[in-house]
Homo-oligomer: A and B are copies of this chain.
Amino acid sequence: MDSNHSATRRVASFEIFYTQFLSQDGEARGDLPAFAKDVEQLRAMYQLMIRTRAFDKKAVALQRTGQLGTYAACLGQEAIGVAIGHALKADDVFIPAYREYAAQFARGVPMRDILLYWGGDERGMNYDSGPSMLDFPLSVPIGTHVPQSIGVGYAFKLRKEPRVVLVSCGDGATSKGDFYEAVSSAKVWNLPIVFLVSNNGWAISLPFNRQTGAETVAQKAFAGGMPGEQVDGNDVIATRFVLERAIERARRGEGPSLVEAVTYRLHDHTTADDARRYRSAEEVEAAWDRCPVKRYKAWLENSGHWSAADEEALQTEATATAEAAAQEFLKIEAQAPESIFDHLYATLPKTLEWQRDEVAARGPIAGAH
C-alpha cells in the first residue's frame, strides 16, 4: 500500500494480542487472574485435565483392541477443554467441536456417552445430566455448527436472558464459509457469543500455513468487526482467563468476540490416521515440551498446591474412572433395530410404519449391536 501518497489516508487499524501466564516450564508471568487465588479450583482444573488424559488413553486403547470405532483424541489440547468447562456458567450453551471432552465432562456428560458416540451409538449424544443437557452434540461436518450459534445467541438476546453461547472449532474449520457467515454477522446483533478456535496447527495433514493466507486465526474476527485475540491454549490459566473475560463481556451485552487458542495436536488426527506420513518426529517432540499438563503441574507444585501424593492418588483414581466408564460402555445393551425410527420425527408418520414393522419383524441383524 502506497500509504504516503497524499491522496491516501488511514481509516482503520487493528491489533492482535497474545496472552500467556505460564511459560513452557511452568513459571508464572504477570499478576495471575483472581480465580488463581482459589486453590480448590486450581486443583479441580488439574484433576479434570488428568482425568481427561486418562480417558483419552483408555479410548485409544479400546479402539486399538477393536472395542471402539474411530476416535479423535484430545492429547495435548486438554487445557482448552478444562478452561471452557470452568469458564461457562451452568445455563450457558456449549456448541462443541470434537476435542473438548474435558469441557463436556465438566458440564456433566458421562464419559460413557463419549465412548458410545465413537462406538457408533446415537445414545452417546443424549446428554442427560447437568448443564450439558443444554449443549449441542459435537458436529462432524466441520464448521457447520458454528453459524447455529447465531440462532442460539439471538434467542438469548430476544428473551433478555443473561446467557452466553460458546462455540468451538478447529483451525481447519476456519476455512469453511459457514464459519465466516457467523463471524461476519454476529456483531450485527451484538450477540452474546464467544467463538473459540483451537488452532492445533494441523487439519489432518494440512499445516496451518497452507490452510489460509492469514497469519493468525484471531484476525479473522475483523471480518465481522469483532475483537479477536490469541491465547496460549496450552496454558490453562491464560485460556480460562481470556475465555472468562470474553464470556463475561458477552454476558454484559458488549457483544461477540473470537478467541484463538494456540495449541498442538500431540496424537494422530484420529485413530484412523497416521500422522507420521505428514509431520516430523522432531516437530512432535518439540511440541511435547509445550504440553499443557507438564507446565500446569510444575506450576502447581512450585506454588505448593500439589504434592507427589496428590499426584499418585489422582492418577490411580483417573485410571479407575476411565476404566469404569469403559466397562459401563462395553456392557450397554444394543438398541432395538427398530429404534432407528424412534426419533426420526416427533411422531412417526403413518406412511413409514410399515418400514418400522419390517425391521421389528426381522429382529436382530448380524453385525448390528
The smallest beta-carbon distance between A185 and chain B, in angstroms, is 6
- Chain B residues closer than 8 Å to A17, beta-carbon distance: 1, 3, 8-11
- Check if A21 sits within 8 Å of B7, measured CB to CB: yes
- Check if B238 sits within 8 Å of A212, measured CB to CB: no
Within 8 A of B (CB), among A169-222: 174-181, 184-188, 190, 210-216, 218-220, 222
A24 at the interface (CB under 8 A from B): no
CB-defined interface of A1-41 with B at 8 Å, one 1/0 digit per residue?
A: 11101111111111111111100000001110000000000
A174 to B225, CA, bound (A): 13
Chain A: interface residue count, which band? 35 or more
Listed by A's residue number, 13 A-B pairs whose Cβ atoms lie within 8 Å are A1-B227, A6-B30, A7-B20, A10-B16, A11-B16, A13-B13, A13-B14, A179-B180, A180-B184, A184-B220, A187-B213, A219-B225, A223-B223
A52 at the interface (CB under 8 A from B): no
A149 at the interface (CB under 8 A from B): no
Closest to A226 in B: B213
- Check if A216 sits within 8 Å of B11, measured CB to CB: yes
Which residue of B7, B177, B222 is within 8 Å of A214 (Cβ)?
B222
Within 8 A of B (CB), among A137-185: 174-181, 184-185
- Chain B residues closer than 8 Å to A224, beta-carbon distance: 212-214
The smallest beta-carbon distance between A251 and chain B, in angstroms, is 17
Known: A214-B184, A223-B219. A8 touches B19 (CB 8 A): yes
Closest to A187 in B: B213
A1 to B211, CA, bound (A): 27
4 A-B pairs with the lowest CB-CB distances in the bound complex, closest first:
A177-B177, A187-B213, A180-B180, A6-B30
Closest to A14 in B: B14
Given A177-B181, A185-B212, A220-B223, 19 new contacts (CB under 8 A): A3-B15, A3-B17, A5-B19, A12-B216, A12-B219, A13-B15, A14-B15, A176-B181, A177-B179, A180-B180, A180-B181, A184-B212, A184-B214, A188-B211, A188-B212, A212-B224, A213-B256, A214-B223, A220-B222
- Chain B residues closer than 8 Å to A188, beta-carbon distance: 210-213
- Chain B residues closer than 8 Å to A10, beta-carbon distance: 15-18
- Chain B residues closer than 8 Å to A219, beta-carbon distance: 12, 14, 222-223, 225
A2 to B21, CA, bound (A): 14
A17 to B4, CA, bound (A): 10
Within 8 A of B (CB), among A236-295: 238, 245, 255-256
Closest to A246 in B: B1
- Check if A177 sits within 8 Å of B175, measured CB to CB: no
A31 to B10, CA, bound (A): 18
Known: A214-B184, A219-B223. A176 touches B175 (CB 8 A): no
Closest to A2 in B: B245
Most chain B beta-carbon neighbours within 10 Å: one of A175, A177, A218: A177
